[in-house]
Amino acid sequence: MLPPMVMQTERHRVMSLTDPVPDIAAEVTAILAAQALVDPSQVDPGQTLDQLGLDSLGLVEAVFAIEERFDISVPFNPNDPGAAGPDDLDVSDVAGIIRGVEVLVAAKQAANQAVR
């Protein structure tokens, strides 16, 4: 049996219907900070990814981490993030990523509620 802390960490790794509503901004900020190798307190919503020190590989890894954490599919073109379509994730700054994830999580929750 795993220690309680490990089980709790694993349980919260992917969002499920029984998980509490997450603090999306804090969790996205933590993911971006981890990829940029900075403390989350150093991340400002108005920062661009360049200002944060996040390169294209770091962005792709952050998107994968976000998808895994929230169990969502993030519309994102890693080949040309600057040419995002209207449904793609806004990667112009940290706030844009947070807003996009909030919308995707809300849509997932609404779809899950409709299935019940």
Q: What is the pLDDT of residue 83?
A: 61
| Residue 58 or 14, more confident | 58
Instruction: Using the predicted structure, report yes or no on whether residue 82 has a pLDDT greater than 80.
Output: no
Q: What is the pLDDT of residue 65?
A: 96
Q: What is the pLDDT of residue 30?
A: 97
| Residue 112 or 72, more confident | 72
Token pair for 108: 């997932």
Instruction: Please say whether the beta carbons of 68 and 27 come within 8 A.
Output: no
CB-based contacts of 84: which residues, under 8 Å, 6+ apart?
A: 76, 77, 90, 91
Residue (of 87, 56, 55) closest to 74 by Cα position: 87
Query: Of the CATH numbers 1.10.3720.10, 1.10.1200.10, 3.40.50.410, 3.40.50.720, which one belongs to the domain with range 19-115?
Result: 1.10.1200.10
- Cα separation of 111 and 29, whole Å? 25
| Residue 64 or 90, more confident | 64
